[in-house]
Amino acid sequence: MYISLEGVDTAGKSTQLDILKKKYPNAIFTKEPGGTSLGLKLRGMVLGGEAKSNIAEMFLFLADRAEHTQEVIKENQNSLIISDRSLISGVAYANTLEIDRLIELNLIATSNLLPTHIILLELTPKELEFRLSQKANDSIELRGIEYLMDIQNRMKETIKKLNINHIFPPAYAAHARANRHAAPISAARYRCGNPAYSVSVLCTQARLCPRGGFCAAYPSPTAPLCQ
């Protein structure tokens, strides 16, 4: 199973991943960009603003994604892989081209390998503005709230176009849960489509789940939503 945690900058992916590492110690944790030795160099170039053209930046990300697919994803296909970002971010952030064309380029980089599940931590403009105000911003965050909200919308559109199993929990709810219970969004247990067992938001019984492997409690814990 290959799971990608997505979200715009400041959505709280790092917090969730730190907690997931404790809950799933045998999983392969990785990230894009920077999940390989080459990727670390490419990531530094992007975040440092070394690429002066948007097209150059896009190809740096594609190079990282191709290396990451070869060195991490293909090598661990029989394991649980949890990644901080995937081609979903690659398509969304490279917003100088049409989404369909970007999907084609990213599928070349990934050899047509896609995440089996996507969790996109969704931010409101107000929450995003607050989070950006609380930290020093890198070259991407400095592009502003409107830019990042457009990226979030492109992420959602890309996920739907690729027809990947997904949930879009609000980032503030995941953050509050983590702070209150020291447990990730995946630790809150709800009833799935099969009454024989309970599963989490990130379904630990995905191979058994009759409806695809995700069980979420949105809009409320009393109205579970199996997707």
Is 159 in the same domain as 172? yes
- Return the bridge partners of 132, or none: none
**123: containing domain:** 2-183
Is 172 in the same domain as 192? no
Is 20 in the same domain as 104? yes
Percent of the chain that is helix, strand, coil (3-state, to 5):
45, 20, 35
pTM metric for this prediction: 0.75
Q: Confirm if 146 and 6 have CB atoms less than 8 A apart.
A: no
Is 195 in the same domain as 133? no
Which is nearest to 140 in space by CA: 4, 11, 37?
11
In tens digits, the chain (227 residues) has pLDDT values of 999 999 998 898 989 999 999 999 999 999 999 999 999 999 889 888 898 998 998 999 999 999 999 999 999 999 999 999 999 999 998 888 999 999 999 999 999 999 999 999 999 999 988 888 888 877 777 788 899 999 999 999 999 999 999 999 998 655 554 444 433 444 333 334 433 333 333 443 333 343 444 444 333 333 333 43
Is 27 in the same domain as 114? yes
Is 206 in the same domain as 104? no
CA-CA distances (angstroms) from residue 144 to 104, 122, 135, 150?
A: 28, 16, 13, 10
Please tell me the total count of domains within the chain: 2
Is 223 in the same domain as 171? no
